Amino acid sequence: MSAVLREKIRAVPDFPKKGILFRDITPLLADGPSLHAMVELFVDRYRDRSVQKVVAIESRGYLIGAPLAYALGAGLVIVRKPGKLPSAVDRETYALEYGTDALEMHTDALAPGEQVVVVDDLLATGGTAAAAGKLVARRGARVLEYAFLVELLALEGRTRLAGSEVCAALAY
């Protein structure tokens, strides 16, 4: 199945800046059978794991997280950049190569003891996923696993998620 998904991911050189090889998932999303195969791959992995919430990271993580949560009968929690959520939030600031960024999640989105999967389209350096995991932990919920469609192995993002289970459908 991963070969079917891999052939639909476009490599775009020098985007968003020179020297970056961007992995564009939009052709996969535009192809119905490939989109279905991607969602089913994750559904099969989590069907029997008692996932109560899927925590999806802005913005492409929503494209995987929403259908996954629906198929599992789980709730969907969205994690966003600062200032985008309308109610009380918890914020996690994290380091980037040059500067910092932050993510926010509603304070009432998770209950203590809930089991969650944190989902995003891509694992690069792991900073964003680790920040989302910290937000989950502060609410008293438990990350069962971090799930990604694509992992960029050279950036060693798994090291920032050390001690956690990580699933990547494709690795480059």
Positions marked active-site: 60, 97
Kindly write down the DSSP assignment for every residue of 90-133, as one continuous string. EEEEEEETTEEEEEEEETTS--TT-EEEEEEEEESSSHHHHHHH
Q: How far is CA 52 from the centre of its chain?
A: 16
Distance CA 66, CA 79 (A): 12
Residues 6+ apart with CB under 8 A from 7: none
Distance CA 159, CA 66 (A): 27
Nearest to 27 by CA among 5, 42, 44: 5
